[in-house]
Amino acid sequence: MERKQLSVGKLKVFVFDTRQEMGQAAAEEAEKHIKRVIDEKGEATVVFAAAPSQNELLVGLKKADIDWTKVRAMHMDEYIGLPEDHDAGFGNFLRRVIFNDLPFKAIHYLYNSEIAPEEICAQYSALLEEFPPDLVLLGVGENGHLAFNDPKVADFKDPKSVKVVELDEVCRMQQVNDGCFATISDVPEKAITLTMSAILAINGAITVVPGKTKAKAIDNVLNGDISTECPASILKTKENAVLYLDVDSATPAILL
């Protein structure tokens, strides 16, 4: 059940009792957005986040009444240095949970171990120019990051649209907390990510953030200053941005 809705700056915020209700509501909003873009343009391009926080949203999307043959899929970040078949690879996560189950028009994977990371960035930047995304599905990290734009590397006016970054310790430890790696030493130290500039340029943004481990970050997003110290705080300035929370992630940021 929807517990509360409010606006913080330009950001619309919805709070639900459970993760399942949160994810289903976000999926319904994404369905409406994607169908509207297809009606207007004939096809849509969607950027997907890869994280356990997205599971309920992605389950809901697989049930949605969308012509997926008119949807291009992209993803926003990927580790550098993992074997291509590693379970924790973000492309592999998305294959398992959604990409293999739906007849997408095209799927543009971010990583290729045979190409240098900087060349991957250049190629994916060109793809973003050729197929400007219509919607991005986001999560928020425990350190407030969007994609792999951790506080030390986030730039709201980044001149690049895709770049190589070093991951901070909080970000890497989150991957262990999420069950993706056994220890922090197993987590790669570098990754490729869409930049803050690229994310902010996308017209629609649906952000899904469940769980107690994200409560501090959400408090900083909603009640703190807009700063790269909490990169996701910039969502408060973005048109067509919606944030979906469950009770755990919304407390104590919102008086429920």
Residue-wise pLDDT tens digits, 93-104: 999 999 999 999
Instruction: Answer yes or no: is pLDDT of 184 > 70.
Output: yes
* Residue 194 in tokens: 């869409």
Please state, in angstroms and as integers, the Cα–Cα distance from residue 137 to each residue in 62, 86, 188, following that order. 14, 23, 23
pLDDT band at 111 (very low <50, low <70, confident <90, very high): confident
Instruction: Answer yes or no: is pLDDT of 147 > 90.
Output: yes
In the sheet that holds 11-16, the strands lie side by side as 2-8, 11-16, 241-246, 204-209, 135-138, 44-48, 71-75, 106-108
Mean of all residue pLDDT scores within the chain: 96
Beta bridge partner(s), residue 75: 48
Quick one: pLDDT at residue 112?
77
User: pLDDT tens digits for 54-73?
Assistant: 999 999 999 999 999 999 99
**Rounded Cα gap, residues 242 and 7, in angstroms:** 9
Cis amide leading into 252 (omega within 30)? yes
Instruction: Answer yes or no: is pLDDT of 256 > 70.
Output: no
pTM summary value = 0.96
Domains of the chain: 2-250 (3.40.50.1360)
